[in-house]
A = this chain, B = another copy of it.
Amino acid sequence: MDVTVIGGVAGFLTSMAVIPQMIKTWKTRHARDLSLWQQIIIIAGLALWLAYGLLLGDLPLILSNSFTLFCYILLLTMKIIYDRGDKQRIDG
C-alpha cells in the first residue's frame, strides 16, 4: 500500500472516531465517565491544528480539523448538559 494512503486512512480514522462517542452520548443522555479535561485539551489541540492548517493553507488539515473540532464542541456541550441532569437526579 502507498505510504500516503496509510497516512490518509490513519488521519481519517482518528478524525472520525469521535462520531460513535457522540452517538452513544446522545442516545444514553449520560456523559458521567467522560473526562472534562480530555475534552478541553483536545479542543485546544484541534483549534491549534486548525490554525496550523490555515497558516500553511493545507486544505485536508483545515477540513478534517474543523469537522473534529465541531464534533468535540458538541460533545462538550452534551457533557455539560447531561452532567447537570445527572446531578439534579442525585440531589433531588
Chain A residues at the B interface, C-beta cutoff of 8 Å:
3, 6-7, 9-14, 16-21, 23-25, 28, 30-39, 41-42, 44-46, 48-49, 51-52, 55-56
CB pair A52 B13 closer than 8 Å: no
Tell me the number of copies of this protein: 2
CB pair A17 B41 closer than 8 Å: yes
- Cβ contacts under 8 Å, A52 to chain B: 3, 6-7, 10
CB pair B33 A3 closer than 8 Å: no
The CA of A31 and the CA of B25, in the complex, are separated in Å by 12
CB pair A41 B24 closer than 8 Å: no
Chain B: CB-nearest residue to A72? B17
- Cβ contacts under 8 Å, A25 to chain B: 33, 35
